[in-house]
Structure 1
Amino acid sequence: MRAAGKYKVLLIIWLLQFVNYLDRINLSIAAPTMMRGLKLNPNVFGFILAAFTFGYAIAQIPGGYLADRFGARCMLIASPILWSVFTGMTGFASTLIALVAVRVLFGASEGLSNGASFKLIGDNFASHERSAANAAYLSALALGPAFIAPVAVWFLTHTGWQGMFRWLSLPGLVMALLIRWVIPKQSPTAPAYRTSLSADGPRKGLREIVRQPTSWLIFVAYLAFNVAFWAYLGWMPSYLSIARHIDLKALGVAASIPYLFGAAGMIAFGWIGSRSLYRYRCLLIAVIYICTAVSLYVTYNLASSAQSIAGLSVSAFFLYGGFGPVWSVVLDLTPENLRGAFSGFVNLGGQVGGFFAPIVVGYAVSATGSFTGGFLFMIVALFISALCFTILHTVRKGHHHKHISRELA
């Protein structure tokens, strides 16, 4: 019964994340049309893209804390109701200030659910299951954009960008009702699902946890990764349209292909992180990010549009592939009573990187008329993240040996 219950929870939060990304990625799809219609250049539009991550970032720790305090279910109902409201309001915004304001509020609304979802993973899955469980849950990050690309283009061509946002405000409201009916009021946390790395000793508060070097190491690692991730997510459709001259009708299909590869990479590396390389997840993540950087470099130097889509697809396979192992490591570093709050702390770092990434890329494109600077920015960030995870592996390995030595003594 417990196995059936935890997979039901996994399915529901997968659906929530899927709908979450339906509402999140539509701005990237609409970007070329909105920039023409509102007479905005890329560096200004970068601030609109970044407005979401600003709101998303500031809600991470409060959302996680509230999930720990009042339960994940409460936050998972409130969040989609709020983000649906602000998705619809985006369709009524007609000035730069209004768009920035509504996207900040939209981001904050979505950010309230993130820690709650990871808390449910930690509460319902054992340590060795979490890489695969997180990969299954987070595959919605790739499948959502893959699905929304052609759907958003359809709405874009038939209702305009304003109508697209208004219609896509409805699925989140449906999810709020579904969560209320399906998710139990309290998610049981059995002793078998305690973290294997930080359960020793007395229960600690968030302040004590974030003072540990490993907490800041993974904070910086996830920040650097999200520089690449959000630059890719925010500017990839525009890159295909502006630099590779793919027209709007073809853009919906072209922009969806890399995300399908991203979902495949997420499932593949999530499974590996829960099986053969469970004890080497940090090194696995480092190798994945190095492969992503190399793929992006090769992609930018390819000649044709078809080759570029193929290169972006390979890049997405690795870019998304690290999500499952990364969040299983985060949950292993987290005490049971702080799963929501500490997940929010790590994701705060990610969103700091995500906030600056589209702004920097937008300025680089406007200043140079080329995406070269944007690609180099992503590549450097990925190497920094890979280095952090390599160091984290060494630190954790040293702590493990010290723990064994104390037991033998």
Structure 2
Amino acid sequence: MAQAHPAVLHASPARGKTVAQKASNVRWRIFAIIFALTVINLIDRVSLSIAMPTIAAEFELTPSMQGLILSSFFWAYALLQIPGGWLIDRYGPRRVIGWSTGLWGMFQTLAAFATGGLSLMFARVALGAAEAPLFPSGGKLNSLWLGSSERSRGAVLMDCGGPLGVALGGLIIAYLIAVLGSWRIAFFIAGIATLAMAWLAWHYLRDNPAEHPAVNDAELDKINQGRAVPMAEAALQATKGLGIAARSLTGILLGRASWAMVFFGLLTWGPSYLAQARGFDIKGIGAATFIIFLCGAVGSLVGGYLCDLLIRKGVRRGVAAKSLLSVSGLVALGAFLLLPQLDDAFAAVALLALTAFFLMWGSLYWSFPALLAAPSRVGLIGGVMNLAGSLGGIVVPILVGLLLQHLGGYSAVLGFFALCSALFIAGTLLIALDKTEVCHG
């Protein structure tokens, strides 16, 4: 039962005048929780990569077994994107986030008790399955809790937790292993922290803003501004098919998969590039990776705020979003073409940091399911979009490895990333965002 909210206008007892009620800010607390979950999500995800040298020595794992264990996370993660999206639309993001976060915290904790490669692989597959619904759930909450003028900020606030989690994860997990002398204790601590976040998410999140006890009428007006029917009610209405235009869906899939090729390419092969092509030692690689992905997190936030600012200034949503995303793709394309010409290693890191800053404007894609899909299909379309990104993340390490093995050197790899950047722009331009001016206010 929703708590009664005070009137938007109320009389001041002291002055006897009617004053406007200040809107509460529950929606941004909701997205602060989603941001924190995303950071922890990536910390848990990269923890195995950091600990693998220690684990491999303890379990006497072959390189091929290490590769299987490292990739096993994405098997279930990718396969459960669409089922996870369906569950979000069916049962609501609060239930799905609460249960999935609890499960992934449990499996992260259980990984600390692994006795060999197979049990560790099982824990990683289960972790991937449990983490699968988080980003589509965030996309659904974007549609339920934010008005059209705030969705870009909500999308990037969620997604910027990814690169920040990568940047922090290496430092935190490595520090815990070094100080505590045990990868098992580090995994256990990370799992318990995730379980605590599951409790917080279940306690505070709501699927319907009107049912949150801390939301007042002024904030509800902001959330539902321009909507004929509140989104929480519209999400209950039946929809045939996928509820999205084929052209826009094609653009989303192409753009997100191409973007993910670049992002996960930097994530998986970036350290090797810094070591082999630029001569950095392990400390230098850690510092450079931290700087690059921290710049990506900042860039994600800047892109979202810029997009919403342009829309508030009267720029059409399609023009604002496509312009920023095109700039993002063009900067990445130019950077990957320029990198082979740079001799100075520190200049290369600076260029990669700049590239990550603009590349993470691609976080704006997480506002698209809420803008383009029917309200009852937002979770599903978010899952489909994240599936495309996950497949890009699975494929790109293999492709880069093949390019290095058969062509030698990183010039071909950087050229491939430039091609992906161009396809990212092409996919973005296909998306029919202008129609959302009428459909979604």
TM-score higher than 0.5: yes
Question: Are the equivalent residues in 2 in contact too, given 1:364–1:373 (CA < 8 A)?
Answer: yes
1:104 aligns with 2:125: yes
After the TM superposition, which residues 386-401 of structure 1 pair with which residues of structure 2 at under 5 Å, given as runs?
A: 386-392=425-431, 395-397=432-434
Q: Give, in whole Å, the separation in 2 of the partners of 1:337 and 1:232.
A: 35
Q: Give, in whole Å, the separation in 1 of the partners of 2:164 and 2:395.
A: 25
Q: Give, in whole Å, the separation in 2 of the partners of 1:89 and 1:374.
A: 37
Q: Give, in whole Å, the separation in 1 of the partners of 2:178 and 2:423.
A: 40
- Sort the Cα spacing of 1:193 and 1:224 in 2 relative to 1 into closer, same or farther, 3 A: farther
Point out where structure 2 has 5 or more consecutive residues left out of the alignment: 1-21, 211-219
Instruction: After TM superposition, give the deviation of residue 126 of structure 1 in Å.
Output: 1.0
1:29-79 residue CA offsets vs partner (Å, 9 max, x unmatched): 4466667875655x8755544432332222222222212221211111111
What CA RMSD, in Å, does the superposition of the two structures yield over aligned residues? 3.4
1:335 aligns with 2:374: yes
1:192 aligns with 2:231: no
The secondary structure found in structure 1 opposite 2:342 is: coil
- Sort the Cα spacing of 1:167 and 1:302 in 2 relative to 1 into closer, same or farther, 3 A: farther
Q: 1:357 aligns with which of 384, 393, 396?
A: 396
The one-letter code matched in structure 2 to 1:192 is Q
Q: Give, in whole Å, the separation in 1 of the partners of 2:55 and 2:413.
A: 21
1:313 aligns with 2:353: yes
Instruction: After TM superposition, give the deviation of residue 246 of structure 1 in Å.
Output: 3.1
- The number of residue pairs the alignment matches comes to 396
Indicate the larger mover: 44-53 or 103-112: 44-53
1:151 aligns with 2:168: no
2:204 corresponding residue in structure 1: 182
1:212-269 residue CA offsets vs partner (Å, 9 max, x unmatched): 2321221121111111111112222343344444333444333211111112211111
1:252 aligns with 2:286: yes
Q: Give, in whole Å, the separation in 1 of the partners of 2:158 and 2:367.
A: 12
The one-letter code matched in structure 2 to 1:239 is Y
Question: Are the equivalent residues in 2 in contact too, given 1:47–1:359 (CA < 8 A)?
Answer: no
Question: Are the equivalent residues in 1 in contact too, given 2:251–2:429 (CA < 8 A)?
Answer: no
Question: Are the equivalent residues in 1 in contact too, given 2:265–2:393 (CA < 8 A)?
Answer: yes
Q: Give, in whole Å, the separation in 2 of the partners of 1:45 and 1:373.
A: 26
1:261 aligns with 2:290: no
Question: Are the equivalent residues in 2 in contact too, given 1:299–1:307 (CA < 8 A)?
Answer: no
The one-letter code matched in structure 2 to 1:174 is A
1:128-148 residue CA offsets vs partner (Å, 9 max, x unmatched): 211112112222112222222
1:25 aligns with 2:46: yes
Question: Are the equivalent residues in 2 in contact too, given 1:120–1:187 (CA < 8 A)?
Answer: no
Instruction: After TM superposition, give the deviation of residue 356 of structure 1 in Å.
Output: 0.8
Q: TM-score, normalised by structure 1?
A: 0.84
- Sort the Cα spacing of 1:205 and 1:109 in 2 relative to 1 into closer, same or farther, 3 A: same
The secondary structure found in structure 1 opposite 2:373 is: coil
Q: Give, in whole Å, the separation in 1 of the partners of 2:409 and 2:120.
A: 26
Question: Are the equivalent residues in 2 in contact too, given 1:258–1:316 (CA < 8 A)?
Answer: yes
Q: Give, in whole Å, the separation in 1 of the partners of 2:347 and 2:61.
A: 31
The secondary structure found in structure 2 opposite 1:275 is: helix
1:118 corresponding residue in structure 2: 139
Q: Give, in whole Å, the separation in 2 of the partners of 1:100 and 1:296.
A: 35
Question: Are the equivalent residues in 1 in contact too, given 2:324–2:361 (CA < 8 A)?
Answer: no
- Sort the Cα spacing of 1:178 and 1:203 in 2 relative to 1 into closer, same or farther, 3 A: closer
Instruction: After TM superposition, give the deviation of residue 317 of structure 1 in Å.
Output: 0.5
The secondary structure found in structure 2 opposite 1:168 is: helix
The one-letter code matched in structure 2 to 1:354 is G
Q: Give, in whole Å, the separation in 2 of the partners of 1:59 and 1:283.
A: 32
The one-letter code matched in structure 2 to 1:380 is L
Instruction: After TM superposition, give the deviation of residue 111 of structure 1 in Å.
Output: 0.7
Q: Give, in whole Å, the separation in 2 of the partners of 1:366 and 1:162.
A: 35
Indicate the larger mover: 344-353 or 87-96: 87-96
- Sort the Cα spacing of 1:359 and 1:302 in 2 relative to 1 into closer, same or farther, 3 A: same
Q: Give, in whole Å, the separation in 2 of the partners of 1:161 and 1:32.
A: 10
Indicate the larger mover: 207-216 or 187-196: 187-196
The secondary structure found in structure 2 opposite 1:209 is: coil
1:407 corresponding residue in structure 2: none
Instruction: After TM superposition, give the deviation of residue 88 of structure 1 in Å.
Output: 3.6
Q: Give, in whole Å, the separation in 2 of the partners of 1:315 and 1:374.
A: 16
Q: Give, in whole Å, the separation in 1 of the partners of 2:396 and 2:322.
A: 24
1:311-370 residue CA offsets vs partner (Å, 9 max, x unmatched): 2211111121221x2222332101222221211111111111111112222344455664
1:167 corresponding residue in structure 2: 189
The one-letter code matched in structure 1 to 2:359 is L
The secondary structure found in structure 1 opposite 2:243 is: helix
1:287 aligns with 2:309: no
Q: Give, in whole Å, the separation in 2 of the partners of 1:327 and 1:139.
A: 11
The one-letter code matched in structure 2 to 1:17 is T
- The structure with more radius of gyration: 2
Question: Are the equivalent residues in 2 in contact too, given 1:55–1:105 (CA < 8 A)?
Answer: yes
- Sort the Cα spacing of 1:192 and 1:334 in 2 relative to 1 into closer, same or farther, 3 A: farther
Instruction: After TM superposition, give the deviation of residue 6 of structure 1 in Å.
Output: 0.8
Question: Are the equivalent residues in 2 in contact too, given 1:55–1:103 (CA < 8 A)?
Answer: no
The secondary structure found in structure 2 opposite 1:134 is: helix
The one-letter code matched in structure 1 to 2:391 is V
After the TM superposition, which residues 219-234 of structure 1 pair with which residues of structure 2 at under 5 Å, given as runs?
A: 219-234=253-268
The secondary structure found in structure 2 opposite 1:127 is: coil
**Identity rate, percent:** 26
Q: 2:384 aligns with which of 329, 335, 345?
A: 345
- Sort the Cα spacing of 1:101 and 1:236 in 2 relative to 1 into closer, same or farther, 3 A: farther
Q: Give, in whole Å, the separation in 2 of the partners of 1:370 and 1:162.
A: 37
Point out where structure 1 has 5 or more consecutive residues left out of the alignment: 405-409
The secondary structure found in structure 1 opposite 2:206 is: coil
Indicate the larger mover: 266-275 or 356-365: 356-365
